[in-house]
Amino acid sequence: MTTQATAPVLFDLDGTLLDTPRAIVSVLDRVLAESSRPAPPREQVRATVGRPLVAAFGELLNLPHEHAEVEAAVARFRELFRETVVPEAKSMVFPGVPELLERLRREGRPLAIVTSKIRAGAEELLEPAGLTGHFDAIVCHGMAPRGKPHPDLALLAARQLNRAPEECLVVGDAVDDMRMACAAGMRAIGVSYGVATAGQLLDAGAQMVCETVRALGETPGALRSSAVTAHRS
């Protein structure tokens, strides 16, 4: 039987391992400014971080996902992201993340990325960030029938790690990460240094919220406890 010390951990990417949300919002703003549509409120733009790009631009442009303007906006976003954000990937790794991942690997924990990015988008960040080698599985949007907050991506990650869903722990900064974990029957820990607040994460099903990577890695029980609490460090 798997012990808590070797339980798999499924990490979100943007806002959890990499400090990309502000850069993503900046690129979203640039793409939206180039469109002929009215600019949505800043809060609405930020709330789409972590969602698949098609869904984000569909909402922000108030258009169907299959609309040509949405497709063009997605393509433009990826172009600008590669040009302006990817070269800075190494500097965007949150302090303490490499050490946390190394420690979890030493403990014998299987690790996975579960992200709303497509595979190419995830890899183009993970490689220059120096994080790819830490993970046994990289599960991305489009690899399962439904994306976050549905359970499909998390369940696929569990299968790729050859573990039962109830053994797994999801760590993420977004409401959809917590909802995905709950729908998959997995424990969930939120991190409030990304997009969502501690209250939003707890309301969405997080069993614990950590405000820093240090708290996540060093707090007794942070990666094991099922206590509902917000923790600072």
- State the catalytic residues: 12, 14
The closest of 18, 174, 5 to 98, measured between CA atoms, is: 18
Distance CA 98, CA 119 (A): 21
Looking at the DSSP bridge assignments, the partners of residue 76 are none
Cβ density class 113-139: b for 16+ within 10 Å, e for less: bbbbbbeebbebbbebbebeebbebbb
CB burial of residue 33 (10 Å; 0-12, 13-18, 19+): exposed
Residues 12, 172 contacting (CB under 8 angstroms): yes
Distance CA 66, CA 58 (A): 8
Looking at the DSSP bridge assignments, the partners of residue 190 are 172, 209
Q: How many CB atoms lie within 10 A of CB 107?
A: 13
Q: Report in angstroms the alpha-carbon separations of 88 from 19, 82, 128.
A: 10, 10, 8
Distance CA 15, CA 196 (A): 9
